[in-house]
Structure formats: C-alpha cells, structure tokens
Amino acid sequence: MLKRIFLLIALMSQPVIAAQCTGHFINPFTDICWDCLFPITIGKANVVKGSYPDTKQNPSNILCSCANNPIPIGLSLGFWEPFALVDVTRKPYCMVNLGFEINIKGQGIGGAQMPAAEGNGAFYYAHWYKYPLLYWLQLITSTACMQVGEFDVAYLTELDATWNDSTLSFITSPESTLFTNPIVRTSCAIDATKTFGGFSTAMDSLFWCQGSQGSTYPVNGQVSLQTSPVSAATLIAERMNFKMHREGLVWDSVGLDSPALCHTYPMPIMPKSRYRYQMVNTIPEAKACHPFGATVTTWETGHTTPADSDNFGFLIWQKRNCCFL
C-alpha cells in the first residue's frame, strides 16, 4: 500500500504534458459570417442594412474626389472588411488558423516557454495574419477600398520580448502606469455596459478598457483574471489589435469627406468602434460577430472543449470608408 502511495505521488509530481496544437485553415464559405460585411453605406445612407451596429461617423457627402486618380468623381463607400486573423494559444508556435505547429524549441526573443501564471491568471501567445479575403474573392473591385496583397504571417509574439514581460511592454505603452489604479479600472464597467448584448459599439474614449473583457493594459499575453478561456482569448485578440496599431503596423480609414476619405492613417490608439471580431477556430461561430468589448457569455457555450487545449482563432473585421472609383 505504501509503495502505491509513493508511486501516486511520483506520478503527480511529473511535469504536466504540454498543451496540444489544434486548429484548421478556415473555409471562407462555411466559417465566416458574411452578414458581418454590412451595413453598406454610401455617404450617410444605408444602402444595405445589417444586423450589427455601425460606426457613428460616415461621410456626409455621397460623392467624393481624390487627387491623382484618373476617375475624378467616386462614391463615398462604407462597409466592414474581414482583414486579419489572430491566433490565441497556450502552445508556442501553434498556428491555429493554419492548422499546424511550427517545430521550434527554445528559440525566439520572447522565449518558447510559457511564463507561470499566478492564481486565476493565464498566459497566451498570439499571431497576426494579413488576410485580404475581399481582394481574393473580388467582391469589391476598387483596390482603394480593400486590403490588397497576399496572405501573410505578419507577427509572432514568440519573437517579441515585450509579450511575456510586463516591464518591457512599458516601452511601447508607457501610459499603462496611468490605468493600473483600481478606481480608474472601474470605469471599464461603463464600457462593458455599453456593449452588452452587442447592441452598441465600445466607447473609444475609454481606450484603456476592452469592455466586458477587462483592461487593455498590459499590452502582452498575461491575463490577470481569467473568467473563462473564451473571454481571455478574446481579450488577447483585442490587445493584439491594439498592439498592431501602437506599432504602426495597422492603419485605419476615417468616416470623413474627401480628401480625408482618400487615405488611411496611423492611429496609435486603436478606435474600438471600428472593429468587430468573430471566432473561427477551433469551433467556428459562423452566424455572428461581435463589437470589440462585447461580452462572450451570450455565445461562448459550445465553442470550446477540453480537447481544444485553449487554442482559438479569430477573424477581425475592420470598418472601411473609402472613395469607390
């Protein structure tokens, strides 16, 4: 009997088996909520209405004009573009939205080992993909109105020393020290209420909050309080988008009249109201998308299993305003 007890203790003291890598390359016809493309606007008029809240700002004029274009007059078009994929995973180099794992061990600036999380905290890696889906499908023919180019793995947090070190993440977001105060963080409840049920967009003025998911800061893979794996993964995806903005890797259009309408701009503070997210891995939610900051409690049931090993994939939708020529 004593031998069995010692054997049980020895087995329990063995290292936990590493998380498994699961996922698949998404099917653009069955895994994507195409209703999330809407509303489509020309000027301020809704040409095709949608089920989800639009941004408050669209151009006031129907017609627009951009310099150095062969066609002098165009239409002030607005729509939502599926433009990026995000992996959120506890397994280093697990490319969830590609469906395979890169076999790299002990390499990378950020380190391949997962930092220990205390209490109810958790740590996730994230990967950002350029995903020019509308360009591939040619659903909108004006190249000025969509992301062009090839599918590309744009960012791996395993190669980023700031992703698993809150002190180093201060380098790119020094303002984070202003929002660690518990009183300031309680303001996130206002942001969460605003997006409850997905009936409205998040408050851009409260940029230090990601609605029901919690705090934008620190801009790394550490979640101090994980209420559910889906909620934590959604927060990481939103933080990753914020990080891409902060580093100038993602630019946004604006809902103003031309000539401002003719360009995209770097925005160090991500405008939450111009983004939506949709889960596409490992169990796609193909019938709905959600504003940034919206609670996951209304839809997370059935979208995670123990076999998933906390691997998630998200499709990010970006509001696009452009001069359609």
Q: Which amino acid is at 24?
A: H
What's the pLDDT score for residue 67? 87
What's the pLDDT score for residue 191? 86
Every domain of the chain and the residues it spans: 18-324
The one-character DSSP state at 215 is B
Q: Which residue has the tokens 């499908």?
A: 137
Please tell me the distance from the alpha carbon of residue 36 to that of residue 317, in angstroms, as a whole number.
8
CB atoms within 10 A of CB 227: 15
CB atoms within 10 A of CB 103: 6
Q: Which two tokens stand for residue 47?
A: 């040409």
Question: Could you write out the DSSP letters of every residue in 9-65?
Answer: HHHHTSPPPPPPP---PPPTTTSS-GGGGPPEEETTEEEE--SSPPPS---S-SEE-
What's the pLDDT score for residue 16? 34
Q: Are 96 and 81 in contact (CB under 8 A)?
A: no
What's the predicted TM-score (pTM) here? Answer: 0.88
What's the pLDDT score for residue 19? 63
Grouped pLDDT means (10 residues each) for the chain, 325 residues: 33 43 91 94 93 90 88 91 96 93 70 59 93 86 80 94 88 87 81 77 89 90 88 96 96 94 94 95 90 90 80 96 90
